[in-house]
Amino acid sequence: MSRSIIAPADVPPDERSRYLANLDRVTEGSGRLMLMAGDQKVEHLNDDFVGTDVAEDDGDPEHLFRIAAQARIGVFATQLGLIARYAPDYPDIPYLVKLNAKTNLVPTASADPLSRQWHTVEQVVRLRETSGLNIAGVGYTIYPGSRHEAEMFTEAARLIFEAHQHGLLAVIWAYPRGQHVADEHDPHLIAGVTGIVASLGADFAKVNAPTGEPAVLREAVRAAGRTRVVCAGGGETTAEGFLRRLHAQIHEAGVAGSATGRNIHQRPLDEAVRFCNAISAIDFDDTGIDDALRIYRGS
């Protein structure tokens, strides 16, 4: 059952219909998000796009757009440069513009992470208005625990307010990370992080799943309040294992959907589309595991 959809007070009256339409589109009216993440070109360089277990097509950025165009997804998140280059050929995809990114070349053990904003919300709105593309929201990553956290919190707070002023959704990637963070997968710490994202005013908090059974996420869901929590898909796992974990996260902890990258795009196109459709069936339709697996297997 979906939670009631409420426009926050920082969405002006003349933008509320657009905001609610965007939220309805990316959740298909379910209150749950199905986000296909395609922002790893910067975050992980080319590590996620080549390898013995990675589809050859994944080396081409257009593979991401082909999947998003053919599959049932809520929204496709990637950088503005890729959207500007490829989206004119895929205008029906709902897009979320990732506004910051950093590489993994500098390890956290050497320096606390800092990821600065690349583009402004104004630039995103200009792209939306001049291109006619279906841009539903913006995204931004924060690293609570980094000695640079205040700088990222400030940017995040400003862009969330600006996004809402233009009827856009705001999704915050939130990963506790830094030299003073002992365990970034600690459930209690992740609950603290979702509370930060709620305080910033975001619509969704994207976090890494904490250590333990899916039920440990309940604390994070409660801490987030009206900000909805989704879990990153993480590294490669079996399709069945992924779908079972997602189903448990939703039904045992109250997680509001999924945000998945590598587990989708590292697969060949046909399989990636079927996997997206299976994930979306769980997110949007409350489909059970057996039926979701049938969708994935094409049976």
Q: What is the DSSP string of 161-203?
A: HHHHHTT-EEEEEE---STT-S-TT-HHHHHHHHHHHHHHT-S
The answer to whether residues 138 and 99 touch, using CB atoms and an 8 Å cutoff, is yes
The reported pLDDT for the residue numbered 237 is 79
Phi, psi of 4, rounded to the nearest 5 degrees: -65, 145
pLDDT computed for residue 299 by the predictor? 83
Q: Give the Cα separation of 91 and 223 in Å (integer).
A: 37
pLDDT of residue 219: 98
- Catalytic amino acids? 175, 206
Q: What is the C-alpha to C-alpha distance for residues 276 and 169, in angstroms, rounded to an integer?
A: 22
Question: Which residues of the chain fall below pLDDT 70?
Answer: 1-4
Q: What is the pTM of this model?
A: 0.97
